[in-house]
Chains A and B, each alone.
Chain A
């Protein structure tokens, strides 16, 4: 910890000397990082990127500091070669929150800035397309602002007063009927509304005549909506593709159909209540989601809440099992997208079910595990489970991975459909803040378990999977590599699993969380899953933000699809492996 802090301070020192007037160390209690003047943001970020190698901007988010009349934008910067965080912040007055957009420097900021505009109303000057991304245009206001009151819910913070001791049950929808709980922006009529920017898209397939400059020949461009109701989009998700012939000229992902404002809910909850809600982000990987959130809050809670050894091992075992099941599913459903209807997917689901049996016995639920607690895990492994895991990781999973490999990897159709399709170069991958398998398949060996180790990953012997072509085929292959590495970790973890306690503290539902901020991240199956939490010393987080890997990986989707054929879109999307529960939050 101390070493890290000194390295950090040295870094700060250099930057402070360089920009004595525009940079300050953030000295609020429990905070760290650098505060930058908004008008100098671009030049300083450029220096950080080009001279200090902070080329990987993973997370951008806003915080509404209502009492101080300020809006803050927080940037989490890393080096793509590994190492710890550099946190940069910009504060602007709440009455006129304008921040220069970083899209020119870090294209990966694009969706995240739109999200901050959408939910917090921070304007990013110079953003090429600053429109709402999760909410729709008929939504009044910016819901994550602290003074935005939700009509549907009974109180600003939980627990609600009226549940005890004189609780009188009533259905929320009877006190607040559906349809009456909506405010529209001034002059907005949902019946007559057609979005100006999107009117092409909503009229279904649309033909635009274009005269080619060189030849004078008139060609037709076709706008096609893939989704939102389409099985290949893995949920309710839309891709608006502009085609000429079969070639994709432009593509715009449209999301938000499953948006429930997870973060607003999270800020109404107490810290511990958020744990089961994180299950519902990427609902395949609830264990990993729990892991990230537990780590983040433990950082705030301090040393006392370091999980005991046994809990650390159990956490790693569960997280790696999750990675395996996720990648099996990713492989199976990717084959579905290619048209191998359901046989590979069902073979994959079989392995997943066997892992879910373990989760059910350990956590009580197959998918919504809610298993991690601050300082450990909720309950010890029941009898017989260790043996079951051992059999899986020593015998069954290696065998089945090989079988899956034999089954699919050399298949000429798979190769023909995916090789050299949807290429993302390493430079692009970093610039678009791609994470996880997408980043590593592009030749960037960045895995948080190695690059910035958390929990006890530094103890295990494993390789960071990496592939170099950045095409769909490599993104498919890398999942096999990662399954094999996870199996290696699991074998070591189950062999070394010590006896002992599973929780650092007594089970508790109320925590005194010190003031401050914390950014915790784990290498989830889909990539960097980060949580940014701000505590103001009360029971409920002041800010709770999820850096969702599926969402941010979509930033590079357009780039991957340009110039490809329309039939490849589905394969490219499948190779990213998104889950809409996490994209839309």
Chain B
């Protein structure tokens, strides 16, 4: 029969429409603007309205999610910062878009190079969010941020992130990437224990 195919198709859209209301009634108020409601819309048996009302609702970000990089510093007991970066330059070498500029610090008296950056800049207009810098940094000093709301009015100045803007505490890192952080801490503890053991043997 001509037209049957169209009707069958319309049946599908009708079902979607009905589902929308049925789901809303079933879930009641909890469906929208709650974390559970958002999560439910990400599962494989989601039905009904699928969209997320950003910015009131937000998709939870996966731990691996990467946006632009930031530098990690450890906080000492009395609040002083110790920057993890040793200015080794690896990240600036692996960076595919070559958007990392590092100025290694020098000892003012002997002008010998120091293991810390005097300046560190990333042009996030160029950054392609690939994550290579974080992946290959041997000191876990640079990591990929979750903050993606970086729209600005004037990109020329604002979008070059310099050292002060890049630096974030290790606790922040631990909060956005708890699993990676725990693994790294464990690995570090093991290395430290092995070193201590070797020293003890001698």
Which residues of A are in contact with B by a Cβ distance under 8 Å?
A: 154, 158-160, 163-169, 171-172, 269, 272-277, 343, 347, 350, 353-354, 357, 360-365, 368, 370, 378-379, 382, 388, 391-392, 395-396, 403, 406-415, 507, 509
Contact = CB atoms under 8 A, between A and B. Distances in A.
Contacts of B77: none
Contact of A166 (B64, B103, B132, B160): B103
A67 to B, nearest CB: 26
B23 interface: no
B13 A364 contact: no
Interface string B154-197: 00100010100000000000000001000000000000000000
B98 interface: yes
A407 B102 contact: no
Given A164-B104, A276-B132, A360-B64, A354 B6 contact: no
Given A276-B130, A365-B129, A164 B96 contact: no
Interface of B: 2-6, 8-9, 11-13, 16, 42-46, 50, 61-66, 87, 89-90, 92-96, 98, 100-104, 113, 119, 121, 123, 125-126, 128-132, 135-136, 144, 156, 160, 162, 179
Given A276-B130, A364-B65, A396-B44, A412 B100 contact: no
Given A273-B96, A388-B44, A407-B12, A167 B121 contact: yes
B92 A382 contact: no
Contacts of B100: 163-164, 167
A120 to B, nearest CB: 24
A368 B130 contact: yes
A392 B132 CA distance: 30
A163 B64 contact: no
Contacts of B113: 165
Given A360-B62, A406-B12, A407-B12, A368 B44 contact: no
Contacts of A159: 92-95, 98
B92 A171 contact: no
Contact of B62 (A163, A167, A364, A368): A364
Contact of B98 (A160, A361, A396): A160
A509 B94 contact: yes
Contacts of A164: 87, 89, 92-93, 100-102, 104
Contacts of A414: 5
B154 to A, nearest CB: 12
B136 A168 contact: no
A164 B129 CA distance: 20
25 contacts: A154-B98, A159-B93, A163-B100, A163-B102, A164-B93, A164-B100, A164-B101, A166-B104, A273-B95, A277-B96, A364-B66, A364-B144, A368-B128, A391-B43, A392-B44, A395-B45, A406-B12, A407-B8, A408-B9, A411-B6, A411-B8, A412-B3, A412-B6, A509-B90, A509-B136
